[in-house]
Amino acid sequence: MQIAPQHVLIVVDVQNDFCPGGQLAVAGGDEVVPVIHRIARLFEHIILTQDWHTSHHQSFASAHPGKHPFEQIEVSYGMQTLWPDHCVQGTRGAEFHPDLNLTRAELILRKGFRAEIDSYSAFFENDRSTATGLGGYLRERGFARVFLAGLAYDYCVGYSALDARRLGFPAVVIRGACRAINLNGSVARVEKEFAEAGVGLIESFDMLA
């Protein structure tokens, strides 16, 4: 697939807490870093996203006495999976993985900072209506297609790709530059949604060939 100047690479949440040793570690999460570095050379434009939670975020199991990580509760915007405390603002866990070296990224978009609502997507909070502003940014910059990589494939990457399509942007997920949580069949579920929404899937080696 040919990369054009109006295409943008969105690198999603490659943060310490999502990598081995982190509070919500994705298996092999750190393995995406060298792949992303190789792919990034193809792109003129790069955006980074960063989970940025308050210390008592509603999505944390610790905020709900008697509840445990990965249980679900009902909140105002629907069902919410409860997570271990992770990516708390200003902590080491919220920092980008130390090997991630994308200093030429043009935007760092922080999400999930509203204490009462979770945010998987880079475009919308989990109520599906509160915008982060990324869609407007992409339109103002004249970007025509988004490519996504990072963590986790079946949550923040997947939701971002689906919302990009919802906003009218062609979206391609670079599968080999992602790792998944795969909680209760989440990989199969998101890939079914990709097919229905027209999200493209490509392997990293196909891009680098």
Q: Which helix (H) or strand (E) holds 32?
A: helix 32-40
- Residues 173-190 have pLDDT tens digits of 999 999 999 988 999 999
Q: How confident is the model at residue 207 (pLDDT cuts 50, 70, 90)?
A: confident
Number of other residues whose CB lies within 10 A of the CB of residue 164: 27
pLDDT at 204 exceeding the cut of 90? no
Question: Stretch 106-117: mean pLDDT, rounded?
Answer: 96
| Predicted structure pTM score | 0.96
Catalytic residue among 13, 17, 30, 118: 13
156 an active-site residue?
yes
Q: Where are the beta strands (DSSP E) in the chain?
A: 7-12, 45-51, 72-75, 78-81, 107-111, 145-151, 171-179, 200-202
Q: What DSSP character marks residue 96?
A: B
CA atoms of 165 and 161, how far apart (whole Å):
6
39-64: burial string, b at 16+ Cβ within 10 Å, e else: bbeebebbbbbbbbbeeebbbbbeee
118 an active-site residue?
no
- Residues 133-165 have pLDDT tens digits of 999 999 999 999 999 999 999 999 999 999 999
Catalytic residue among 19, 87, 156, 178: 156
pLDDT at res. 206: 80
CA atoms of 188 and 168, how far apart (whole Å):
23
Between the alpha carbon of residue 66 and those of residues 23, 104, 183, the distances in Å are 19, 44, 21
Q: What is the dihedral of CA 182, 184, 188, 194, to 10 degrees?
A: -80
Q: What DSSP character marks residue 155?
A: I
67 an active-site residue?
no
Number of other residues whose CB lies within 10 A of the CB of residue 127: 15
Catalytic residue among 30, 85, 111, 118: 111
Q: What DSSP character marks residue 131?
A: B
